Structure 1
Amino acid sequence: MSRTKLPKPIRYALSMVLIVLLSTWAAASWTFADPDGNAPKISLKREIGYNLIIKEGRWAPLKLTLTSDVNVSGDIVVRVDPLNGGDTVSYIRHVELPRNTPKEVVIGMAGIPYNKSSNTIQFFEGSVKDGTSIPFTTKNGYVESMTVPGTAVGVLSSDPDTMNFLNTLRSKGKDVSVIPMVAGDVPSDPMLLDMLDVIVMNNFASDMLSQEQVKAVKNWVGTGGTLVLAGGEGYAKTVRGFEDLSPVEVKGTQRVTKLPELAQLGAKPLSLEDGITLSAASIKPGTQVLLRSEGQPIFASHVEKQGKVWYAAYNAGTEPLASWSGHPAVWQTVLQKDFSQTQNQNNYGYWGTIPGNLLQLGNALDYFPALHVPSFGLMLLILLIYVIVAAPLMYLILKKLDKREWAWLLIPSVALISSAIIYAVGASDKNAERSHTISVVEMDGQGSGQRVSATAFFAPRSGDYELEFPAQTYIGIGNSSGGSFIGGQSGNASGTYIDMGQGGTKVNLNEVPYWSISKVWAQQRANEQVGAFETKISVNDQGDLQGTVKNTTDRNFSNVVIVMGGKLVKLGDMKSGETLPLQSSGGGLGTAFNDLGSAIFPYYGGQDVHERERIMLNSYLPSTALYNARTYVLAWNNDELLSYKSDGRRIAGEQLNLWLQKVNLNWSNNGTISVPYGFVSPSIITGAGSGWNQNGNNLIDMGQGSMILDYDMPSGITASKLNEIHFRQQTLGQNTDYAVMNWQTQKWEPVKWTKNLYSLMQGAFGDYLLNGRTLRLRITVQNQTTFSLPDLSLKGKGNTP
């Protein structure tokens, strides 16, 4: 029997295929295994957060160090199963591991508890989709962390124990965590500093930081962080690389043997017989001085976009200051805004991998404008037509034609056609991928702003989807109705893969059901150039607002509103470049501050077209620093701020954006200063009562204990310009005593209310205003009660900026 010989071209093609297969096998043998054919041996070192501390609801770095005994490439996968609900999320990074060379990988992780039960770390040679898992030679393929709430203070100092005295503030109701750091801890991505509220650089050699690290710290400050630059005679090395952020120009040093102003602020005796060294400095324009001594600034600060930078004239680790009992009180006053922020603002915790305040923002996504419930009238009409056609009409026609046996065919056909029509009507807006995105942009008033977005992705078909977001976008996945947002189901077996590559962030949604909605949160710690609202607003003696608001952005806005001092003024729509007059007493908000959404967008029944706006105002706004200040402009538009793709295709979508900006007022009118009640909000310095909380109506519920409030005078107003200071208390509370601090005598003086009013004695304001700017009040409660935070009004002579 003869064999048929294959044609030469086919034999050639088969030979080439065989060569390719053999080459691929040889390359794989070199890449993924040693000469003996064994699997690679990979060791793992891991560290999450800073000193294993992460902050609840904030992003934190996870450092993984991998070392392989052979050349190997693949995906490192961190799988997270949130303990409190939410879908399984896997963070992926592709890595190339050269033989016997440690490789560090940094992954941004959500601020939730991590332990053996909540996460696993795996390495897949090739890729996670089709590769083989390689077990690590080291044990514990997971991370553990300690999650802290409150204020997180990172410390870069020559002495790692420099700021440990802040831990004593916990006994005074301040939830503070001090985290020592070294230069290598500082990341090049500002989002990985997200878990820190304050960074203190004290007598620290900043030139150890790379340009990328310095840039990251600056971006972190510009997007809301607080940076403290200190060091005394070591200030020059501390400020190196951050000269443009420093509130002062340092010109040498000076030796002092007393600092009475500092002792006054700390309310404790301070002996400096051996002296300490201060840096001598002149302040830059726009800098506010908290404390001076013999004309020299001891503490000074200025605003940097949405953040703040402090200058301290001495080394915080120098004795006897380091162990001085008044030192914690000094720094509590310096950083009061950062400490009070965590106390006053609602702490929503987290759900899945989403911070609670952002999760509340995502509730507005449930109102997907492009997806509609079919019209009841239309569906009823189709049903009636079907009933009429399928029964009497068809019967009469077939009877007249004497073809009643055709009913066996026609009735099912009509039913199928009717079903198809009903499906087509119901699915008319559900046959394509769609997105619904809401964003909040907090503007700094100088042209830049920071944005956070939440988006809902509608999948018209079941299967896997890949969403592509811009580079450096951090993604969170949450849930709804007790189940997972992903696919609208709970316990998705495959979960979600998030891969932050250099070209962009990819989110793989696996096993998504038919007609389902997936919700995704997108964050970037970066300032965008967005323009600003230019405001020229003053207040008269009656508290009426007057002036102008100009839209200097390149965008048009609707429903522009000014909220100031308990007043609500609606300006309406504003086009780019438009200026609108503001001369109205506005509407008093009163208790409506707890429901600002309904105050701006009242609902009178019928079709509710502003449900999303009310949810965003009442859920997200209270978590911002603007809310307590109560002096801001807010506006809306539908511009596209976040765009992303699905499997490389652009998605048709709808957007709703809330824009917020703090407003500064001019308090002088023809040389007369007038600050009515409601415009100066206190900061809670200490809340040591047994279980206290603050609601949106400025009311405090507190058990036995005391609370200390600081009132900072508005910009440009000092004790020398004032001739009247009045307190007004709307709800005094039961068995509650009030006292004001006399800084000169270092004693608390009782406040005696007359018809809920109290006035400080004229001519002695300097005794009650620390450094001419800060007034301190103490409220002591004997048993559980409710009281309001006192309002302050000011009158005087002079001009303010």
Structure 2
Amino acid sequence: MAGCYRKCAFFLIFIFVFSLIGMPVQAAENEIKITTKTGFDGKVKTGRGFPVQVTIENNGKDFKGDLLVNFYPTYNSTGSKVLHIDVPKGSTKTFNVSLQGLSEENQYNNQNVQSLFLYEGSWKNGKEVGFRGSKNLSPRYTDPERKTLGLLSENPDRLKELKSLPSDAMIDTIVMDESILPEDRLGLDLIDYLVIDEYPFSSLKPAQQEAILEWVKNGGILIAGGAPDAVQAYGSLIHDLPMEPVNEAEANLTGLKSAIKPGKELEKVPVFYGKTKADSEIVYKSGDIPIVAKRISGSGEIWQTAFSAGAQPIASWKGYGDWLAFLLSQSHVSTNVTSQGFINPYEQYYMDFAEVNSYFPSSHFSLGQIFLMLLAYVVLIAPALYFALKKWDRREQAWWIIPSFALLCSAAIFGIGAKDRIASPQVSQIGVFKAEGGQLQGIKAVSLLSNTSGDYGFAFPRGEFSGIPESSYNSPKHFSVFESGRKEDIVTFPNVEYWATRTLYGPATKKEAGEFVMDLKFAGSKLTGTIENRFPYDFENVYVWSGSKQIKLGKLDKGGSLKVHETLGQNYLSGPLTPGYGHQMPSTAQDIPKMKKSKLEYGAVEFLYNKSRLRNIPIVYGFTKDPVVNADLTGQSEKSTSVSLIYQAAEIEMEMSGPFSLKEEELSADLVAIKGEVFEVPRGGREASIDVGQYEYILHVPSQLNKDSTRFEEISVTLIPGNAVFSLINAETGESIKLTDKTTKFTDKPGRFITKDGLIKIKLEKTGQNDPFVRMPSVTIKGVAGK
């Protein structure tokens, strides 16, 4: 009986002690509650940045610590963003963070896999604690091939006709909440268009205003509505608008294009207008009043309407959404539709750019060298040792001398081969950048080769690099960790193994970076003039690239000038053609530097030039050993190598005379969906797989053949039979001429079909759902330069 009492007593003590051990964790879980809002209205896009709003409610003691929020932009990339939180007892605080992206294909895209981790103190050495609420994000993925229009208004109900655009416009609309507006450009990445109307832009935080402006400069399309107090409402943005809205009047807007034509209700619409800036373009006028104007800002555009987007009577016009969809189709938005359909941009960056950066050269012996060393040991060294020991009468010592000598040779071979990896960690950086408006935009990759195990951290200037890590980690607690400070962003790779590689890659930006100042002339196939380097970088070589020709001009140091006198063997200049480097990988250490430069040239055209609005314009580019956006390995001294490519659209005075003929392949092409969906566009853009709908096939005439100095004599259009109807658009009147013959030649004022920007637009109406394949018309142009 006494033994039974003792057992019961021990059992009760065990339960009591166990309960005491579990109390702190249980207490933490009861004290802190975390809720999240993912994306805008819960929506995200594969491979695109988005904001997350985190609300922390603390019902216990004061809490200071770190919250890790995991993200996974591709199937093989994972990372964590750090939120440093300080939540006093009894309070509730809200934090905003921008993540690089999520992917439905990632193994961690599972509601049962935890993606939020809370630490008391630092995430590096603090204690993980539990919390109430969801342990992961709950995104709703939207079709990445559809565009997204954000509406920012104090009264979004006024924009009801814009909340649901025509389904065939392939544009989704979301209402944006000021509380989740990010304070960095990355969080706006999933938005393609942004309408701001009847909204006090100046009341936003300065960081939010700057984020929107940076988003525009990196390719966003901003539409600003008219307002009676526009100067006060738009604040600092007013200086970037294409028009000064200082006058008020009534305008007739019955000329707006839509499937539902405007009625008499739009004959008198209140508008606010004024003088347009010199670098702006008036898109639509009513009499002498500019109604719609646009202005290029970096790689993006700012559109401005003289009328308020939500004001009556236009807000209730049933054709309003159709008109806006048509207007948006006229803007330039880059696409990630390729010959394989949509591809996650980060996956494309890695396959065709960043992967080569993870190859590090090292000292090694070839098979022939190893054979010679083995032969020397067997034939020379071993017999020599034998005779030496025999001479000294020390043959009994051979049992340890010969193995020791062999061990010494092996150690020497190992040391020679591994000396670079033992001494210090190695860092390799590559980047490709487009220079525009004094700013650099591009793609960068940073790779690490460790020399010991442990944690490795990189520091970048704040806001200049939005990379993601290539990784294959099995545990969400071992992801690379991203922290943002006041002056720099830090990325930490935890628990890196010996002689292991880690790679970061993604978009990079540099403000106030400089430019090439060009004074170039092209005449009689000769290019002459000067190029001045106002970048803070030395270029080991500078080139001019036209078509498939890359002309090496020579070295150009910062602040220096280069004289140009080259024969190009071309009658006119055109944009660079994509080099065919594909997925090549280096086979020897000597191939690595060459392959990196090849990948940079490939990336310059495929990732930047082909997605910019400056098409069929030659470029000037150079290679520099400066990393441009620098990555510093924190707390360690590394061996670093770097190569970057910077290009800029060439400003060349054209002196061309005599007849010319442009073939189909000499006109770069774009396919823009007005109503419908583009499935695939093989390289070159001469054919496509598309859904039933309406499209614009746009051809770019070489910029040097501008309408002021060229007389166009003939435009010939040849059709390939298929299930599509094509019409050539008159650039002067906007009217279209249906193409019915196999070949149609326009000799009566053919210049009327070419815009002042050198564009030829062909309307494409796709019919028949059985076969999505369409072959684009073949267009040739004849004319005389120097009219």
Question: What TM-score, normalized to structure 2?
Answer: 0.81
Report the equivalent of 1:23.
none
| Inter-partner Cα distance in structure 2 for 1:277 and 1:789 | 43
Distance 1:189 1:492, change over 3 A: closer
| Inter-partner Cα distance in structure 2 for 1:297 and 1:132 | 62
Report the equivalent of 2:689.
702
Which aligned pairs between 1:537-616 and structure 2 lie closer than 5 A? 549-564=531-546, 568-575=550-557, 576-581=560-565, 584-586=568-570, 593-595=577-579, 609-616=593-600
Q: Which amino acid aligns with 2:127?
A: T
Q: Which amino acid aligns with 1:779?
A: L
| Inter-partner Cα distance in structure 1 for 2:689 and 2:101 | 29
Report the equivalent of 2:16.
none
Q: CA deviation at 1:258?
A: 4.3
Q: Which amino acid aligns with 2:513?
A: V
Matched, 1:242 2:224: no
Q: CA deviation at 1:252?
A: 1.9
Which aligned pairs between 1:619-658 and structure 2 lie closer than 5 A? 619=603, 621-626=605-610, 629-631=615-617, 632-658=619-645
Report the equivalent of 2:749.
762
Report the equivalent of 2:453.
462
Is the Cα contact below 8 Å between 1:564 and 1:679 reproduced in 2? no
* Higher mean C-alpha deviation, range 575-584 or range 339-348: 339-348
CA-to-aligned-CA distance 1:157-216 (integer Å, 9 cap, x gap): 2442566756766743x5423221133333332333233232221222223213332233
CA-to-aligned-CA distance 1:16-74 (integer Å, 9 cap, x gap): xxxxxxxxxxxxxxxx989x987770122211222222233222222212121244334
| Inter-partner Cα distance in structure 2 for 1:580 and 1:179 | 52
| Inter-partner Cα distance in structure 1 for 2:354 and 2:99 | 20
* Higher mean C-alpha deviation, range 745-754 or range 446-455: 745-754
Which aligned pairs between 1:84-123 and structure 2 lie closer than 5 A? 85-86=75-76, 88-113=78-103, 116-123=111-118
Matched, 1:519 2:503: yes
Q: Which of 410, 413, 423 is matched with 2:404 structurally? A: 413
Is the Cα contact below 8 Å between 1:125 and 1:134 reproduced in 2? yes
Which aligned pairs between 1:7-22 and structure 2 lie closer than 5 A? none
Q: CA deviation at 1:656?
A: 0.9
Report the equivalent of 2:762.
777
Report the equivalent of 1:532.
515
Give the CA RMSD over aligned residues: 4.4
| Inter-partner Cα distance in structure 2 for 1:499 and 1:604 | 37
Percent identity, aligned pairs only, is 20
Provide the aligned length of Structure 1 versus Structure 2. 743
Is the Cα contact below 8 Å between 1:644 and 1:651 reproduced in 2? no
CA-to-aligned-CA distance 1:200-252 (integer Å, 9 cap, x gap): 21222223213332233223333333222113546455433312101111222
* Higher mean C-alpha deviation, range 675-684 or range 331-340: 675-684
Helix, strand or coil for the counterpart of 1:595?
Answer: coil
| Inter-partner Cα distance in structure 1 for 2:645 and 2:520 | 22
Which aligned pairs between 1:470-485 and structure 2 lie closer than 5 A? 470-472=461-463, 476-479=467-470, 484=472
Helix, strand or coil for the counterpart of 1:424?
Answer: helix
Question: What TM-score, normalized to structure 1?
Answer: 0.80
Q: Which amino acid aligns with 1:142?
A: N
Helix, strand or coil for the counterpart of 1:428?
Answer: helix
Is the Cα contact below 8 Å between 2:616 and 2:703 reproduced in 1? no
Report the equivalent of 2:299.
306
Report the equivalent of 2:151.
155
Which aligned pairs between 1:132-147 and structure 2 lie closer than 5 A? 132-137=127-132, 139-147=133-141
| Inter-partner Cα distance in structure 1 for 2:502 and 2:698 | 45
Report the equivalent of 2:286.
293
Matched, 1:427 2:411: no
* Higher mean C-alpha deviation, range 155-164 or range 214-223: 155-164
Helix, strand or coil for the counterpart of 1:437?
Answer: strand
Q: Which of 131, 145, 148 is matched with 2:126 structurally? A: 131
Is the Cα contact below 8 Å between 2:545 and 2:575 reproduced in 1? no
Helix, strand or coil for the counterpart of 1:443?
Answer: strand
Is the Cα contact below 8 Å between 1:547 and 1:583 reproduced in 2? no
Helix, strand or coil for the counterpart of 2:672?
Answer: strand
Report the equivalent of 1:500.
484
Q: Which amino acid aligns with 2:263?
A: S
CA-to-aligned-CA distance 1:541-587 (integer Å, 9 cap, x gap): x9886765443334332443334467654434434322424553349
| Inter-partner Cα distance in structure 1 for 2:428 and 2:265 | 66
Q: Which of 223, 227, 235 is matched with 2:222 structurally? A: 227
| Inter-partner Cα distance in structure 1 for 2:528 and 2:494 | 55
Q: CA deviation at 1:514?
A: 1.3
Report the equivalent of 1:5.
none
Which aligned pairs between 1:203-218 and structure 2 lie closer than 5 A? 203-218=198-213
| Inter-partner Cα distance in structure 2 for 1:462 and 1:320 | 68
Q: Which of 656, 659, 677 is matched with 2:646 structurally? A: 659
* Higher mean C-alpha deviation, range 327-336 or range 192-201: 327-336
Report the equivalent of 1:28.
none
Distance 1:798 1:569, change over 3 A: same
Is the Cα contact below 8 Å between 1:303 and 1:309 reproduced in 2? yes
Helix, strand or coil for the counterpart of 1:108?
Answer: strand
Distance 1:129 1:470, change over 3 A: same
Distance 1:535 1:759, change over 3 A: farther
Query: Structure 1 unaligned runs (5+)?
Result: 1-31
Matched, 1:196 2:191: yes
Q: Which amino acid aligns with 1:442?
A: K
Q: CA deviation at 1:700?
A: 1.6
Distance 1:417 1:243, change over 3 A: same
